Amino acid sequence: GNSVTQMEGPVTLSEEAFLTINCTYTATGYPSLFWYVQYPGEGLQLLLKATKADDKGSNKGFEATYRKETTSFHLEKGSVQVSDSAVYFCALMKTSYDKVIFGPGTSLSVIP
Amino acid sequence: DTAVSQTPKYLVTQMGNDKSIKCEQNLGHDTMYWYKQDSKKFLKIMFSYNNKELIINETVPNRFSPKSPDKAHLNLHINSLELGDSAVYFCASSQEWRKTYEQYFGPGTRLTVT
């Protein structure tokens, strides 16, 4: 079946450090891939997405590239801020009538 | 304007009670969802409705009953609440026809069963 694996957290970084959160997936065909972010006390919101191989999604300084050969969609940011502290979820979806498969989430804390 | 709203935001109740959570979206989306998030932040889909029709029904106790009176609303009724039902429940919506599949989440309802 379809599944998403993320690196375990929590991840703690100093401000301006480089961030990588690994995400790998298992799915047949060509799913769409997403990163969602959940700030404390809020619902999830879409951070970025990619719908086909080699696509790069980007938003708010975050980037992720859809790598079909390694079935990965790692999230990166060159310089994190305290305001990036949140839980990050990698997710995939095959079609609009399929359920979204979320990874377990990775908690990020950025300290000044 | 709130895109996806839920009421109430907090719900504290005793075991055995029946409660409802309401969800409304003003995005014009035709698909709505209920998710349960446990204390470890793990998200599990419960139900999905498309144009008022149930399309996803995960393995959820039948004490949970969704109801969609129209495309913009999806309510969740829970009978005979149990301690294990304590969690944050999120409503979400998406516009299928745009083929982008991203979901828009509400702020969540934190349910505490004592």
Contacts of A99 in chain B (CB under 8 A): 45, 48, 56, 58
Q: How confident is the model over B104-114, as pLDDT tens digits?
A: 999 999 999 99
Q: Touching check for B103 and chain A: CB below 8 Å?
A: yes
Predicted local distance difference test score (pLDDT) of residue B1: 67
Q: pLDDT confidence of B17, banded at 50, 70, 90?
A: very high
Examine the pLDDT at B97 and tell me if it is beyond 70. Answer: no
Residue scoring higher pLDDT (B53 or B10): B10
Do residues B45 and A99 make contact, with C-beta atoms less than 8 angstroms apart?
Answer: yes
Show the 3-state SS of chain A. Answer: CCEEEECCCCEEEECCCCEEECEEEECCCCCEEEEEEECCCCCEEEEEEECCCCCEEEECCEEEECECCCCECCEEECCCCHHHCEEEEEEEECCCCCCCEECCCEEEEEEC
Instruction: Please state, in angstroms and rounded to a whole number, the distance separating the CA atoms of residues A28 and B16.
Output: 43
Q: Which amino acid is at B30?
A: D
Q: How confident is the model over B19-58, as pLDDT tens digits?
A: 999 999 999 998 899 999 999 999 999 999 888 888 888 8
Tokens 């409705």 sit on residue? B49
Taking the CA atoms of residue B46, residue B51, residue B55 and residue B57 in that order, the dihedral angle to the nearest 10 degrees is: 30
Predicted local distance difference test score (pLDDT) of residue A96: 59
Predicted local distance difference test score (pLDDT) of residue A29: 82
Predicted local distance difference test score (pLDDT) of residue A82: 97
Q: pLDDT confidence of B73, banded at 50, 70, 90?
A: very high
Inter-chain touch B48–A93, beta carbons under 8 Å: no
Taking the CA atoms of residue B5, residue B90, residue A105 and residue B40 in that order, the dihedral angle to the nearest 10 degrees is: 130
Residue in B92, B101, B106 nearest the CB of A93: B101
Q: Are strands B109-113 and B10-13 parallel, antiparallel or unpaired?
A: parallel
Nearest-Cα residue of chain A relative to residue B56: A99
What DSSP character marks residue B27? S
Q: Omega of the bond prior to A40 within 30 degrees of 0, cis? A: no
- Left, alpha or beta for B40 (phi > 0: left; psi -120 to 50: alpha)? alpha
Predicted local distance difference test score (pLDDT) of residue B33: 93
Q: How confident is the model over A6-38, as pLDDT tens digits?
A: 988 899 999 999 999 999 999 988 899 999 999
Contacts of A51 in chain B (CB under 8 A): 100
Nearest-Cα residue of chain B relative to residue A8: B40
Q: How confident is the model over A91-108, as pLDDT tens digits?
A: 998 875 678 899 999 999
